[in-house]
Chain A
Amino acid sequence: MSADQGDGGGRQPALGEPTDLSPGPTPLPRPDGRPGLPVDPALVTGRAPEHDPERIPELHEVDCPPDLRERIEELMSRYPDRHSASIPALWEVQRRYGWCTPDGVRQAAAVMRVTPAYLESVASFYDLLRTEPFGNHSVLVCTNISCWMRGGDELLGAFCEAAGCDAAQAAHGGASSADGEMFVSGFECLGACDLAPMASVDERYFGPLTGEDAATIVGQLRAGEEVLPERSLARRPLAGGPDGEPDPRVKDAKGPNR
């Protein structure tokens, strides 16, 4: 990679040469030109960073919507230390803007009085916080042990086909459909092996699902309809059925569940 890439094509200052030390008001673009969180070109080229350590943005610089600000402030007030609100604040940003946009992260950083890089470091650690745009509806298909045994890979394939997403990409981090409506991703264990094979559709669990169900769900999502209510985890009773005759020790006990 040439030394010019990533800084807009300008000449690189030699080491020791004075540079403009004020951090730019807009974040640096990603070297590969894709949207997403900015990357310091120094990380790619291996040169010394060109900017001062990032400072905390001021509220007037970031144009944070008042309700988002209030919400994040409310979240911070729940904890003895405001930093604890970083994951919840990033969830708020993601729900509002669809993903953790650079602007949204800066807004949250300004409210929380932390650097955007701090929040980026948190966002990039967690699978559910997206640092790149993704489809409006998310379908996470479990491909871990129990679901794999019962056809999780095939279910992922069926969702990809129905949604028009690239199957190889979906199995390695997720893929969005061309129209940006659907996002399909293979996922590690979602904690619903009893529903295997299953998927988390817009953060609600459904299973067990067949290939036809996948097509139905994609159709329902695109049409804005309720997703397969009969396969919803919310309605699922205990696997062992209704309570049998209680054990005498349980029957005569005190406390909850009498």
Chain B
Amino acid sequence: MTQETRLLLRHADEPGLHRLEVYKRLGGYQAQERAYRDLEPDEILKELEDSGLRGRGGAGFSMGKKASFLPRGEMAKYLCCNADESEPGAFKDRELMQKNPHQLIEGIAIAALAAGAQHAFIFIRGEYDLQGDILDAAVAEAYEAGYLGENVLGSRCNLELVVHRGAGAYICGEETALLDALEGKRGNPRLKPPFPAVQGLYGGPTLINNVETLSNVPHIVANGAEWFKGFGTEQSPGTKVVSVSGCVQRPGNYEVELGIPTRDLICGLAGGPPDGREVKAFYPGGSSAPVLTSDDLDVPYSFEAMAEAGSMLGSGSIIVADDSVSIAQMALRTARFYHHESCGKCTPCREGTNWTVKMLERVVRGEATPMDLDIVASVQENIIGHCLCVLGDSMAMPVGSMVQKFRPEFEELLASTGPVLDEVSRIGAVVGAPETLGAST
């Protein structure tokens, strides 16, 4: 029986953990007190870099390194916490913010000290209204107790923290689009370079990190880099909150050490597909990740192993499709999402997502020709790497992988004479009554 290794989610269901009093009783804010009283920013940066903590938002870049890219010296610098979790399959930040908002605030306060930022923002997606309210209340408590505001904990550092709610746009999770949205504009990605670490929010150096990344910071500062490296693998240290959903019996967030077999997550913790069904394919890192098949269930769940298997760990969100799911329909669902969310700034993404949807609709209706599959594949190739941001790539990679790995299934649809599938339905029925599948009790 696979066990979770709860570090960030430990005591998550403790009543009142979202309140400062309870969080402090369980050891909260000790790391921030230590950082603001005893540590120099460079010492914190070094600790973060030595810990090998990799960004949990999708790219997996070293957090400490990213923070060290910010120029030194007196100037207006900013820290943005990316809480615009909108990737299909991802819901770990929601859980972390809802259950333990102070852990995030403490992480932000320490990271801001290390980066020299005096202004921090939490950019939370507008749909997360409950979590936004919880954060608002927690931030107010932290101000009251002196963990935020002027002269934080009696030091000479000031830190303003604003919870900023978005209004429904996946693209705002892209870091430069997030900056535009935070500046009050339409969320369009910017050309990089300059990277946000040099020229970000309001033109100032800006550190942007994911909720889970920042929630790890107090633990690293309290216990040291060596302790943190004791979890996970050499290249992927630490624990990971993994969102498992789709055709599994116990969907939800599970915190595990990086590097455990993916099978333990899907079939162990999440209970695997419903009885009588088998895993057919899964997205290992949110809907942007190329799909893997049941042959890949034993791949270790780490950044490096997933990359080696031809996919990516991404935000750490597994969506499982069992053998009742039509891959062509799944590809269409995926493409529709990116088509809807494309901001329209770059042509390959705007047009490519549109045409992919149209062609996949023809495929599932049984109206396509074999040539169409090649066109679908070539459109994906022509999107990748040709846009300002990776939204287009995020459709091209999974859709391309599905056409490649499940081509016979697509071809079967082409060979049929009439409409095979209704546009909005799928081959398999609902995998089960929600009572038996979703409830965790």
Check B230–A249 contact: CB distance below 8 A. Answer: yes
Q: Is A127 an interface residue (CB 8 A)?
A: yes
Interface residues in A223-258 (C-beta closer than 8 Å to B): 233-234, 236-244, 246-247, 249-250, 253-258
Looking at B3-11, B38-46, B144-152, the stretch in contact with chain A turns out to be B3-11
Size class of the contact patch on chain B: 35 or more
Check A145–B319 contact: CB distance below 8 A. Answer: yes
Check A129–B168 contact: CB distance below 8 A. Answer: yes
Q: Is A87 an interface residue (CB 8 A)?
A: yes
Q: Is B88 an interface residue (CB 8 A)?
A: yes
Q: Is B167 an interface residue (CB 8 A)?
A: yes
Check A194–B184 contact: CB distance below 8 A. Answer: no
Partner of B3, one of A127, A239, A244: A244
Interface residues in A145-201 (C-beta closer than 8 Å to B): 145-146, 148-151, 153-154, 171, 188-197, 200
Q: Is B190 an interface residue (CB 8 A)?
A: no
Check A205/B130 contact, CB under 8 A, given A127-B168, A255-B223, A257-B100: yes
Chain A interface, DSSP helix/strand/loop, else mixed: loop
State the CA gap A120–B246 with chains docked (Å). 37
| Most chain B CB neighbours (cut-off 10 Å) among A151, A200, A246 | A151
Cβ of B12 to closest chain A Cβ, rounded Å: 6
Partner of A145, one of B85, B88, B183, B231: B88
Q: Is A101 an interface residue (CB 8 A)?
A: no
Looking at B63-71, B119-127, B346-354, B367-375, the stretch in contact with chain A turns out to be B119-127
Residues of B within 8 A of A59 (CB): none
State the CA gap A254–B183 with chains docked (Å). 38
Q: Mark A66-88, 1 if CB is under 8 A from B, else 0.
A: 00000000000011111111111
Check A200/B127 contact, CB under 8 A, given A243-B6, A250-B5, A256-B31: yes
Residues of B within 8 A of A194 (CB): 91, 243, 245, 251-253, 438
Q: Is B401 an interface residue (CB 8 A)?
A: no
Interface residues in B157-196 (C-beta closer than 8 Å to A): 160, 162, 164-170, 181-187
Residue of B nearest to A122 (CB): B186
State the CA gap A191–B3 with chains docked (Å). 25
Check A243–B185 contact: CB distance below 8 A. Answer: no
Cβ of B188 to closest chain A Cβ, rounded Å: 9
State the CA gap A249–B28 with chains docked (Å). 18
State the CA gap A84–B180 with chains docked (Å). 9
Cβ of A53 to closest chain B Cβ, rounded Å: 18
Residues of B within 8 A of A15 (CB): none
Residues of B within 8 A of A146 (CB): 88-89, 245-246, 251, 319
Looking at B329-337, B357-365, B406-414, the stretch in contact with chain A turns out to be B329-337
Cβ of A18 to closest chain B Cβ, rounded Å: 35
Check B10–A193 contact: CB distance below 8 A. Answer: no
Q: Mark B26-41, 1 if CB is under 8 A from A, else 0.
A: 1111110000000000
Interface residues in A37-71 (C-beta closer than 8 Å to B): none
Check A233–B130 contact: CB distance below 8 A. Answer: yes
Q: Is A109 an interface residue (CB 8 A)?
A: no
Check A255–B27 contact: CB distance below 8 A. Answer: yes
Q: A-contacting residues of B (Cβ < 8 Å)? A: 3-13, 23, 26-31, 76, 85-91, 93-95, 98-100, 102-103, 106, 119, 125-130, 160, 162, 164-170, 181-187, 202, 218-219, 221-223, 227, 230-231, 243, 245-247, 250-254, 269-270, 283, 287, 317, 319, 321, 325, 330, 333-334, 337, 340-341, 343, 424-426, 430-435, 437-441
5 A-B residue pairs with CB within 8 Å: A81-B183, A208-B438, A249-B231, A254-B222, A257-B28
